[in-house]
Amino acid sequence: MSTPKTFQELPLSSKVQAAVEASGYTTPTPIQEQAIPPATEGRDVLGIAQTGTGKTASFVLPMITRLETGRARARMPRSLILAPTRELAAQVAQSFERYGVNHKLNVALLIGGVSMVDQVRKLDRGADVLIATPGRLLDHFGRGKVMLMGVEILVIDEADRMLDMGFIPDIEKICKLLPPRRQTLFFSATMPPEITRLVNTFLTDPVRIEVARPATTAKTITQTFHYCTDSEDWAKRELLRTLINEVDVKNAIIFCNRKRDVAILLKSLEKHGFSAGALHGDMDQTSRMKTLDQFRNGEIRMLAASDVAARGLDIPDVSHVFNFDLPWQSDDYVHRIGRTGRAGKQGAAVSIVTYDSLNFLADIEKVTGDTITWVGDAPTESDFADSKAKKRRSSAGGRARGGSSARGGDRNTRGRGAERGGRGRSDRGRGPKKPDATQQTAPDQEAIQPSVNPTPSTENATTDEASARRRPRRRQPRRNNREQTTEAQSAHQTEAGKTPAPVRPDDAGERKSKPPKRRPAKRNTKSGDAGADGGFADNVPAFLRKPARSASDADG
């Protein structure tokens, strides 16, 4: 069977072919040639291709063809497309609008930064195509606003980017919520082990399509590197402005590693008269989409961006890509420069290299397979040697710091506390430290523990001994006013007829010298006689009293 050379030869419906022709495309890319036929047949597809090769159309076109028949029900989408970023998801939605112009497909977009009320309203009307980021989809599912048992086609786009952003657990959870009998289209630029495991788990006998070596750059991109001897950011910004003015830059995306550097670079470009905008993860979705539309329409020429714009964005006719910072990961370099030279057009990638980033060049050469081309003064061999030595020292220091932060940190803290002769940080807030028995002197021991512990002869002594056996022994450095007050309260309670407080063994000697007062003996009131001490004489009624004997009676 001969390989198709035009879209007319591909198994697409007439309405889809008309929309493709109206868009100005006649010849499919290699990934489209090989992916569209099995996708229209309902088979699982594993597509591995570099960025900018037309992967989006390779699954959008066969999906539209298969969704021509049938109708979606409320909150039960017929197909699901998962994208790693909001921009990529919105771009896929635009592709459905372009190629589905002759169809009446309901497309719902679930991304962050947009009102959930409008998204729920679209889901209630029924969605033939649901395009979502993993987090927002799970949010709607948890609220009961979407049900996934009716999904017939699943598309996972930019799977390696999903891995970098930590979405793999969410992807696995979503796949388990879908019906097992479905079609899965899986696209990725690279195939790390985790992605391979995901493919083996959720794809059934997929058609593997690999049109280029993973993480290779397009041959239509001219790559140059410029060495900046000064690593300061102001020197790099000055070199960047010189490069922009020297080459014919129609429009350009300038990549930075940090979001704060994006904001600083934007202010610098605007200060020097450049028409520029910014794109990074801290911006709300409305501002991000507005900036992208202005860049596509030519209202702004320079776009300072973080790696949020490195993957999947289809911005036509980008003439240049500048790496203000070399990326930390070599794969990101491939995706960054892939924003230019798309669809067979010519593009240029210009990278600014400093002394601190020389160690990234070896990984970039390895992943691209291209030799570094320097423009202007190149770094010397001593610069490379010093950079490698600095990297080794930094790695060794990082391992040492990592060890101390895990377990060594406690050891260091205790060591510093021992050197100062005080408590370490771990002892703060725990009260005074207990004295060590080996450091006590003989007088201190005598003051704390009496040498003789006599046994009380009273009934209270038995209680005191039992209490002493139950209570742990405490050593009292000295007796203060608070203890004396406690003794007074105990004596007062004893006089009032209450059970005396337990006597500590340490205080037994002192308690013997001051025994508790005994209760007065009970008086005999049965005879009615007041007795010698006249206990109740004053309270006996008069008629019960014996008449007093007079002197005359005694004489008589």
pLDDT digits (tens, 9 = 90+) for 311-335: 767 777 899 999 999 998 887 898 8
**Vertex 367: Cα angle to 46 and 53 (nearest 5):** 45
Answer yes or no: do 234 and 165 share one domain. Answer: no
Q: Are residues 227 and 158 in the same domain?
A: no
Q: Please write the tens of the pLDDT for every residue from 192-240.
A: 899 999 999 999 999 999 986 655 677 788 999 999 988 899 999 999 9
Which long-range contacts link 470-473 to residues 24+ away (Cβ below 8 Å)?
471/502, 471/504, 473/505, 473/506
Residue 474, pLDDT score = 56
Shared-domain flag, residues 236 and 135:
no
454 is a domain residue? no
Q: Is the dihedral of CA 103, 105, 110, 116 positive or negative?
A: positive
- Whether 64 shows a pLDDT value over 70: the answer reads yes
In-domain check, residue 87: yes
431 in any annotated domain: no
Place of tokens 């890319």: 29
> Looking at residue 413, what is its pLDDT?
37
Give the mean model confidence (pLDDT) for residues 185-195: 90
Domain check: are 204 and 242 in the same one?
no
Backbone angles phi, psi at 234, to 5 degrees: -65, -35
Is residue 415 included in any domain, yes or no? no
Which pLDDT band, with edges at 50, 70 and 90, does 423 fall under? very low
Tens of pLDDT, residues 296-314: 899 999 999 998 777 767 7
Q: Is residue 426 situated within a structural domain?
A: no
DSSP 188-209: ES---HHHHHHHHHH-SS-EEE
Q: Tell me, what's the pLDDT at 216?
A: 65
- Residue 144's contacts (CB-CB under 8 Å, 6 or more residues apart) are none
Share of the chain above pLDDT 70, in %: 67
Q: Please check whether residue 2 lies inside any domain of the structure.
A: no
Domain count of the fold of the chain = 2
Looking at 341, 360, 387, which one is the last position of a domain?
387
Decide if 450 is inside a domain.
no
Do 28 and 116 have their domain in common?
A: yes
pTM tops 0.75: no
Residue that finishes a domain, picked among 345, 360, 387: 387
Place of tokens 């300038």: 254
Across 21-25, 430-434, 535-539, least confident range: 430-434
Within this chain, do residues 89 and 237 fall inside the same structural domain, yes or no? no
Per-residue pLDDT tens over the stretch 235-263: 999 999 999 998 888 999 999 999 999 99
Could you tell me if 66 and 205 lie in one domain? yes
Q: What is the mean pLDDT of residues 514-522?
A: 55
Query: How far is it between the farthest Cα atoms of the chain?
Result: 163
| pLDDT of residue 468 exceeding 80 | no
Judgement on whether residues 204 and 230 belong to the same structural domain of the protein: no
Q: Do 110 and 258 reside in the same domain of the chain? A: no
- Choose one of 155, 179, 210: the last residue of a domain: 210
Nearest partner of 81 among 15, 152, 8, 29, judged by Cα: 152
3-class secondary structure, 47? strand
From the centroid of its chain, how far is CA 189?
Answer: 25
Residues 196 and 283 grouped into a single domain: no
**Is there a single domain that holds both residue 102 and residue 195?**
yes
Determine, yes or no, domain membership for 325.
Answer: yes
Domain that holds residue 267: 221-387
Residues 199 and 265 in one domain: no
CATH classification at residue 23: 3.40.50.300
